[in-house]
Amino acid sequence: MSYLEYRVQTVPTGFSKVLYLNWGLILLLTAVSSMGFLMLYSVAGGSLTPWAEPQMKRFALGMVAMFVIAMVPVYFWRNIAALAYLVSLLLLVAVEFVGTTGMGAQRWIDIGPLRLQPSELTKITLVMFLAAYYDWLDIRKVSRIFWVILPVLIILLPTFLVLRQPDLGTAILLVAGGGIVMFAAGVHWAYFATVIGAGVGLVAAVLKSRGTPWQLIQDYQFRRIDTFLDPDSDPLGAGYHITQSKIALGSGGWTGRGFMQGTQSRLNFLPEKHTDFIFTTLAEEFGFIGAASLLTLYGLIIVFCIASAMTNKDRFASLLTIGIAATFFLFFAVNMSMVMGLAPVVGVPLPLVSYGGSAMLVLLAAFGLVQSAHVHRPRGPA
Amino acid sequence: MRRPPKDTEESARRITRRGLVLGGSMLAFMSVLAGRMRYMQVDQAEEFRLLAEENRINIRLIPPARGLIFDRTGQPIAENVQNYRIVIVREDAGDLDETFAKLRTLVPLSDDDVERALREVRRRSPFVPVTIADQLDWEDVAEVAVNAPALPGVTPEVGLTRHYPLSADFAHVVGYVGPVSDYDLSKLEDPDPLLQIPKFQIGKIGLEAKREDQLRGSAGTKRIEVNAGGRVMRELSRQEGQKGADLQLTLDHDLQNFVNARLGSESAAAVVMDVNNGDILAISSAPAFDPNLFVRGISVKDYRALTENDHRPLADKSVQGTYPPGSTFKMVTALAAHEAGVVTAGETIYCGGYKQLGTRRFHCWKRGGHGFVDLHDSLMRSCDVYYYELAERVGIEKISEMAKRLGIGIRHELPMSAVAEGLAPTKAWKEARRQESWMVGDSLNASIGQGFVLASPLQLAVMSARIATGEAISPRLVKSVDSVEQPILTDGPIGLPPTTLQQVRKAMFSVVNSRRGTAYRARLLPDEMEFAGKTGTSQVRSVVVKNSEVPWEQRDHALFVCFAPYDKPRIAVSVVIEHGGGGSSAAAPVARDIVARALHGDVPPLEVYPAGERAKVAEIFESMPLRSRESGPNVSDRA
């Protein structure tokens, strides 16, 4: 596809591009990240170290990356999408052999001073590649069986590699994120209905098989399910995190205990209080008002992205924007469900708020892609 | 290639449709999240606030100090000493292998210790402190404390642990404590929460186990603010528990030490009892063991050494061990027959070396026979035939009843482990137990303390005390509990005519003090030390061979019972030496030395012994491993 398609004369060039950025989105991202800095400052007991300061630095770095990516025309990103996907696959394979083990799973590769987490990168490159795939694919073939199986394989390949690490949270995000891109691209309803139906059936079969001779999963796996359904049954074991997190969250009330006044997080009851469970600190210290505010900010980010995608006539740009918005949504939806006891503990961070370098950088880079799509959208009469 | 405009339009429309569906679903799910948040944070807020409050405040048990055990003079037998240990909290520890490797350079840790600790650390929740090493020296703990920054999650702690300063002397009486086991817990219906404390020490055997309820005390509680690491942030309030009760025993630690030393390496037991109030002054089983080994957790090697020893150091022979009492039982037969009136004190019976019963001959130990003997002579010279005759006349039921009245065949309620009942057999017993009817021959055997009769050294001492006083006194081991004097146990007079009793006592006097008595060589010279006793030799095998010609475990048991002083009895003593040979040669001298020691109040001077015995006694005293009385037990440097 040629550059001409984008109607050069109406697309901003040079530094004037900055004026065409989606500034509302940037404001929202900054607001969410700032809430993160505040919480990291609080859980460290009122200290910039060890979390808040490095997080701010990464945010600054991520913002720079976002601007740079936004300046690059979106067709460039479409053209390298396949390459990016392949590179991330290779990195996932490399992690198997040279990866550093952390938290019981192999997730990092150390390249000089840089610590790379390929599974984070893959979440974005997968969405990019799928968007490029559907941009390339003839629109009439989208729901044909062969052209449906192909993207399914594209999704399952990195998912399989990620599961081997093992990292269930990322695997869920990859499947759901990829599925949403396929859905947005217009794959027929029936496929999704079939997959969801089969999934529900499988879960039902597994649960039914308990205690029968044809039991499908191990006893200990059933016990984990029990713990999720009733955390109090194992208050000091696996249910501990859920119970503690619910207590912290619930005790926040309307307005919370006040900044830096959360007893639960202060007294170390919360596990992973600076990463996966940071939302409980926010909920405890700022109550329902604080928690709902964050949720609103997240919601606005989604709305801005969807709106940008719907007004964009370019197929790749639209799908990419929707895919990234969906991935972002999955992050906070899974994390919040988890800390509220609606989903099992799978280890997904709260986007832009949880402490963590890779996730922050990758997310801001992804929003750089969204910005690029926004800036370089086709303009004028079609 | 350029897409036809129609396709682009179609594509944009489709994406817009699907985008709206997706955006709508996402917002819908977010409303669910918001609803859940509202429910938890607003509607259920009160409930969670309460939980949060409970969460922050934790109630911990304060283990009470275990009650102390003293002897009658106030000397500590079981005490609590400070014990240093190091514990680890996994959550705070970082890399376990690294931490343990570092720790091993500071503290002596065996591979077993490390493996056990690692296993426990992995099994328990990450915030539960697990003991890595116990019973450490102050120096080791100081090393750990100094290196604390390099050892995250590892903290030294101070606690109390049991210590027995007199080592083996009271091993069998007092027993020992050990960490509570799953087996201990399984035996209890409603276990004390204290027992859930890891490594909480409870009495395992002996007095420590029998009086566990009194010694343990009750737990105190403290309300503390903790974090999820289990780390105590601060103490909010404290309610002290009740310290365990202190027990004062009737035992005299110096006498006990002497008795232990005098029994030496024999497999033996001895009991010294106050005849007037039943106080056990010394109760010893030899060989003994160091109970401190068990408190620490005995090594396999040490334990094997104890269990494989053929002298059975772990068995408490003084109350658990039962032996055929042999001729020491003759007083019972004599008293039974005289009370029944089947014989009079002056009546003589002819001993020709055996008694014919049907086709069987029951031999006297003296093949040539004793000639005509009455009560006094038969007891003094230990004639068997006289008692065969008495048994035939009076029957087993009367003998058995008399045995029980004198304390044999009944269980004395002492707070020690496995106190044996012994056996005073009756016709009914034999029929029930053996499905055989009682034979007259059984009575004859029983009359001289053989056959089915069994008595423990404790019971023999009780018997001697009851003969000496005519009172049915029972043994008492605990003198006071928290300074509250315990009752003296007596059932009043045993109901024997004083003249008969006096005749038996006189005969027992002659056993020791008459030239023809079987224990004449074991007499003591001073008037105030003259005592009365009875020798006994109980057969382990049926064939009569000289003791020196058979292996140790087939030799006869040597027994001796006595009370002293004769004219105004104060103490009763029983001595049983397993496979010791003859009662007069092996057991009587031991009893004599104990009597002399008890009456003199210290190691007696040689002058109290007959001239011919002094050299031998001096040699025995020389070789006895007595604890020095001046320096006392070495306890000061541990506290």
Each residue's pLDDT tens digit, A64-103: 999 999 999 988 999 999 999 999 999 888 887 776 655 4
Q: Which residue has the higher pLDDT, B58 or B259?
A: B259
Say yes or no for a CB contact (<8 Å) between B19 and A240: no
Each residue's pLDDT tens digit, A22-35: 899 999 999 999 99
Cβ-based neighbour number of residue A359 at 10 Å: 23
- Beta sheet of B57-62, edge-to-edge order: B57-62, B220-226, B232-239
Euclidean distance between the first and final Cα of chain B, in Å? Answer: 94
Residue B633 has a pLDDT of 43
pLDDT bin (cut points 50, 70, 90) of residue A208 is confident
Highest mean pLDDT among B185-194, B588-597, B624-633: B588-597
Taking the mean position of all CA atoms in its chain, how far away is CA A325? 9
Give me the mean pLDDT over the A257-270 stretch: 65
Give CA torsion, residues B526, B529, B533, B538, to 10 deg: -90
Is the CB of residue A264 less than 8 Å from the CB of residue A278?
no
Average pLDDT, chain B: 86
Say yes or no for a CB contact (<8 Å) between A291 and B231: no
Cβ-based neighbour number of residue A283 at 10 Å: 31
Say yes or no for a CB contact (<8 Å) between A318 and B15: yes
A68/A344 Cα distance (integer angstroms): 38
Chain B residues whose beta carbon lies within 8 Å of the beta carbon of residue A287: 41
The residue of chain A with its CA nearest to that of B1 is: A1
Q: Which two tokens stand for residue A242?
A: 């859920």
Residues 6+ positions from B175 with CB-CB distance below 8 Å: B203, B204, B205, B206, B207, B208, B209, B291, B416, B417
Say yes or no for a CB contact (<8 Å) between A306 and B19: yes
Within 66-95 of A, beta carbons closer than 8 Å to B belong to none
Tell me the shortest Cα–Cα distance from B301 to chain A, in angstroms.
38
A vs B, Cβ pairs < 8 A, gives 150
Name the residue facing A299 among B5, B19, B27 (closest C-beta): B27
Tell me the shortest Cα–Cα distance from B155 to chain A, in angstroms.
19
A283/A270 Cα distance (integer angstroms): 13
pLDDT bin (cut points 50, 70, 90) of residue A224 is low
pLDDT at A381 over 70: no
Within 332-361 of A, beta carbons closer than 8 Å to B belong to 333, 336-337, 340, 342
Name the residue facing A1 among B1, B16, B19 (closest C-beta): B1
Quick one: what percent of chain B has pLDDT higher than 70?
Answer: 91
Residue A344 has a pLDDT of 77
Say yes or no for a CB contact (<8 Å) between B20 and A1: no
Question: b vs e for B107-143, b when ≥16 Cβ sit within 10 Å of the residue's Cβ?
Answer: bebeeebbeebbebbeeeebbbbbbbbbebeeebbeb
Say yes or no for a CB contact (<8 Å) between A268 and B1: no
Chain A residues whose beta carbon lies within 8 Å of the beta carbon of residue B14: 139, 186
B2/A5 Cα distance (integer angstroms): 8
CATH code for the domain defined by B253-623: 3.40.710.10
Tell me the shortest Cα–Cα distance from A286 to chain B, in angstroms.
11
- Among A286, A308, A382, which residue's Cα sits nearest to residue A21? A308
Residue B252 has a pLDDT of 95
Average pLDDT, chain A: 83
Q: What is the ipTM of this complex?
A: 0.89
Residue A99 has a pLDDT of 62
Each residue's pLDDT tens digit, B1-13: 456 666 777 788 8
Name the residue facing B36 among A251, A268, A340 (closest C-beta): A340
pLDDT at A240 over 80: no
Q: What are the backbone angles phi and psi of residue B197, rounded to the nearest 5°?
A: -70, 125
Catalytic member of B284, B285, B318, B327: B327
Cα angle A178-A180-A182, degrees, rounded to a multiple of 5 = 70
Within 217-246 of B, beta carbons closer than 8 Å to A belong to 225-229, 231, 233
Quick one: what percent of chain A has pLDDT higher than 90?
Answer: 38
Residue A2 has a pLDDT of 47
pLDDT at B153 over 90: no
Name the residue facing B49 among A139, A251, A315 (closest C-beta): A251
Give the E-state strand segments of B324-377 in sequence order.
349-351, 354-357, 360-363, 371-373
pLDDT at A150 over 80: yes
Give me the mean pLDDT over the B99-103 stretch: 83
Each residue's pLDDT tens digit, B584-614: 899 999 999 999 999 998 889 999 999 999 9
Q: Which residue has the higher pLDDT, B229 or A197?
A: A197
Name the residue facing A246 among B15, B40, B56 (closest C-beta): B40
The residue of chain A with its CA nearest to that of B43 is: A253
Residue A318 has a pLDDT of 92
Chain B residues whose beta carbon lies within 8 Å of the beta carbon of residue A302: 23, 26-27, 30
The residue of chain B with its CA nearest to that of A180 is: B22
Within 116-175 of B, beta carbons closer than 8 Å to A belong to 125
Residue B506 has a pLDDT of 95
Of the listed ranges A200-214, B44-58, B170-184, B427-441, the one predicted with least confidence: B44-58
Q: Name the residue type at position A79.
A: N
The residue of chain B with its CA nearest to that of A322 is: B19
Q: Which two tokens stand for residue B600?
A: 């003199």
pLDDT at A116 over 70: no
Chain B residues whose beta carbon lies within 8 Å of the beta carbon of residue A271: 228
Each residue's pLDDT tens digit, A278-311: 888 888 889 899 999 999 999 999 999 999 998 8
Say yes or no for a CB contact (<8 Å) between A318 and B20: no
Give me the mean pLDDT over the A195-215 stretch: 83
Q: Which residue has the higher pLDDT, A215 or A62?
A: A62
Residue A249 has a pLDDT of 81
Each residue's pLDDT tens digit, A320-367: 999 999 999 999 999 999 888 887 777 788 999 998 777 888 999 999
Residue A270 has a pLDDT of 58
Say yes or no for a CB contact (<8 Å) between B52 and A249: no
A45/B227 Cα distance (integer angstroms): 14
In chain A, count H helices and then E strands.
14, 3
Is the CB of residue A342 less than 8 Å from the CB of residue A326?
no
Say yes or no for a CB contact (<8 Å) between B52 and A326: no
Residue A323 has a pLDDT of 94
pLDDT at B60 over 70: no
A351/A360 Cα distance (integer angstroms): 7
The residue of chain B with its CA nearest to that of A177 is: B22
Give me the mean pLDDT over the B78-90 stretch: 84
Say yes or no for a CB contact (<8 Å) between B11 and A248: no
Give catalytic status of residue B327 as yes or no. yes
Residue B634 has a pLDDT of 42
Give me the mean pLDDT over the B57-80 stretch: 86
The residue of chain B with its CA nearest to that of A304 is: B23
Say yes or no for a CB contact (<8 Å) between A302 and B14: no
- Among B624, B604, B595, which residue's Cα sits nearest to residue B281? B595
CA distances from A212 to A178, A203, A217, A219, B331 (A): 35, 15, 11, 11, 75
Give B537's strand partners: B558
Euclidean distance between the first and final Cα of chain A, in Å? Answer: 17
Say yes or no for a CB contact (<8 Å) between A183 and B12: no
Q: Which two tokens stand for residue B451?
A: 């056959």
pLDDT bin (cut points 50, 70, 90) of residue A115 is low
B85/B117 Cα distance (integer angstroms): 13
Cβ-based neighbour number of residue A63 at 10 Å: 17
Q: Which two tokens stand for residue A112?
A: 């000089």
Q: Which two tokens stand for residue A146?
A: 């062969």
pLDDT at B545 over 50: yes
The residue of chain A with its CA nearest to that of B9 is: A313
The residue of chain B with its CA nearest to that of A238 is: B125
Chain B residues whose beta carbon lies within 8 Å of the beta carbon of residue A382: 5, 8-9
Q: What are the backbone angles phi and psi of residue B273, rounded to the nearest 5°?
A: -130, 140
Q: Which two tokens stand for residue A264?
A: 């639960």
Measured between CB atoms, does A382 come within 8 Å of chain B?
yes
Q: Which CATH superfamily is domain B60-249 in?
A: Penicillin-binding protein 2a (Domain 2) (3.90.1310.10)
Find which of B1, B8, B11 to mutate to test the A interface (most A CBs within 10 Å of its CB): B11
Is the CB of residue B321 less than 8 Å from the CB of residue B420?
yes
Say yes or no for a CB contact (<8 Å) between B15 and A240: no
Give me the mean pLDDT over the B25-45 stretch: 90
